[in-house]
Chains A and B, each alone.
Chain A
Amino acid sequence: MKGLILGIVGLFLLLSEPAFSGDIKAGEARYAQNCGNCHGPGGMGLASYPKIKGKEISYLVDRLNTYRAGTKIGPNSDLMIMMAQPLSDVEIANLAAYLNAQK
């Protein structure tokens, strides 16, 4: 029984891995489509758009999930909600991995 539970937990972790460990290269490509126009190369931050490079993955995922759900946080929320709504879980994970890797 114990072995079965461990097996189920292991399988769950294995299956859920892709959702939490993003692909940096894929994230870079997705970032280039929309995000860089405002946040600049590598998430450096431009003009009144904040720096997002090097942030914790959990923070980035949480923010993008929040915007995707249509919840406002901060003065540019309407813009971010518009940008985040088409994102999939995988794209969010990829973006977070890419931005986290920018130092």
Chain B
Amino acid sequence: MIKKSKLLSAVAIATASFMAAPSHADTMNTPDISAMSIMNGLENPWDMAFTKDGDMFVTEKCKGLSVKTSSGSVHALAGMKDSKGYASTFNDLFCSGQAGMMGVALDPNFNKNRRIYVASTSNKYHGSGCKTNEERCDGNIVMRMEVSKDMKSVSNRVDIVKDIQYKPFESNHPFGGPGAHNGNRLRFGPDGYLWATTGDRHRGVVPQSPKLLGGNVLRIDTDGKAHPGNKPPRGFDKRMYTYGHRNVQGIDFRPSDGRAFTAEHGPWQNDEITALVNGGNGGWDPRPNVGGRGDCPDQYCGYMPNQKEGMLPAKRAQFMPMSDTRFSDLMPPAWNNNGLSQGTGSAAFLKGKNWGYWEGRMAVGIMGIGFGGTPSGMRIDVVDIAKDGKSIKSVIHMPTGLTKRFRGLRLGPDNALYAAVDEGEIYKITATAK
């Protein structure tokens, strides 16, 4: 009897497995992915923003802001110094190294107020600063402008943030040119407020500074004033939602709960995806003579202990952690890219049934940096983040068929994923659930 029962069970399991196999594959609902270039010949396209009708605004780092309308025409709107062919040109806007015109976001009420927000490098507010790398340098700004109804011009520029830190000179570091680490991604949150990311600009004291804007995520209104609910530590600038970051270039909001997540570029180790906590600390502190470190080149320990050659990323992380656990207000990352830094630079949550079981997961753009033995890894990851935001459940590579430097990701109103790549193109990546 026992034997017969066991035999029946075995047959039942085998039958169930046989029958379940095809239905299991069906219910996985993995989307088919295809990628198509929709703009080319651009110079370092950095970010995009969409109207509900499908008009796409694009920034090019050293040129300016343009729009490709839903009918396909392209209009050059706001140019930087020396840019040609733009309806308006602003001579204070310039590019240098990693810096230039970067993030762009449309007002949630764009159809009514025509407002657009653009992050850029500017020399307008340098004042008496910026004489050396070791002093305050207000060189990154957030502008608000209004787009004409015919989409051919902008007007009424107002600079709503004028004091984001900028690196004016070369320093003794890898990637050590002026203009390093600006952050400068802009996104509106589900709360209707503008979120602006910033970078440490290769200055050791900046990320943990209570007053200097750099290495933060700012949450502000459309006039640049702090959200009244921001809770930075006492004495900190109230515009800060979080502080202690290195260079946040990716931010988006999880559709299921509206929580902000960042995707951040690590220093030859540990790219990070982090669930933000109001007032939290990213744990990046590249100052010399703290955390067990001594002096560092040009007062910045961000690439130590070895700036000149590859070494085990884990040893780097031990010496100069991206998320230092000595901070009690640390926001631990959900994902650290297996301890590697490969140029994680942008993020967008996938929305819509077309994404199948990937719906609600985070797409992360990785530019690819292959130094010191690290595999380059140009790709888009699809990351399933745990509900509490403290870990991930899985990460897979999106099969786009593309090997590009993915600089900017943005979900369009058609629920397709749009990707700006440093090679000068914008791709539309569509998903079809089976």
A residues contacting B by CB (< 8 A) are 34, 37-38, 40-41, 44, 46-48, 74-76, 78-79, 81-82
Contact = CB atoms under 8 A, between A and B. Distances in A.
B422 A40 contact: yes
B177 A76 contact: yes
Main secondary structure of the interface of B (DSSP, over half): loop
A47 B176 contact: no
B423 interface: yes
Given A34-B370, A37-B376, A48 B308 contact: no
A46 B37 CA distance: 18
Given A78-B308, A79-B371, A46 B405 contact: yes
A99 B372 CA distance: 24
B177 A48 contact: yes
A75 B176 contact: yes
A34 B371 CA distance: 9
28 contacts: A34-B370, A37-B368, A37-B369, A37-B378, A40-B422, A44-B424, A46-B44, A46-B422, A46-B423, A47-B61, A47-B98, A48-B97, A48-B177, A48-B179, A74-B177, A75-B171, A75-B177, A76-B174, A78-B173, A78-B176, A79-B174, A79-B175, A79-B371, A81-B308, A82-B308, A82-B309, A82-B310, A82-B371
Contacts of B44: 46-47
A38 B307 CA distance: 18
A44 B422 CA distance: 10
Contacts of B424: 44
For chain B, the bracket of interface size reads: 20 to 34
Contacts, number: 55
A74 B376 CA distance: 23
B416 to A, nearest CB: 24
Contacts of B405: 40, 46-47
Nearest to B372: A82
Given A46-B423, A76-B177, 14 more contacts: A37-B378, A38-B369, A40-B422, A40-B423, A46-B422, A48-B175, A75-B177, A76-B176, A78-B173, A78-B308, A79-B175, A79-B371, A82-B310, A82-B371
Nearest to A72: B172
Sorted from nearest, which 9 A-B pairs have the closest CB atoms?
A75-B177, A46-B422, A48-B97, A75-B176, A75-B170, A78-B174, A37-B376, A37-B370, A48-B98
Contacts of A47: 44, 61, 98, 367, 405, 407, 422
B63 to A, nearest CB: 14
Given A46-B44, A48-B175, A75 B423 contact: no
Given A75-B97, A79-B175, A44 B372 contact: no
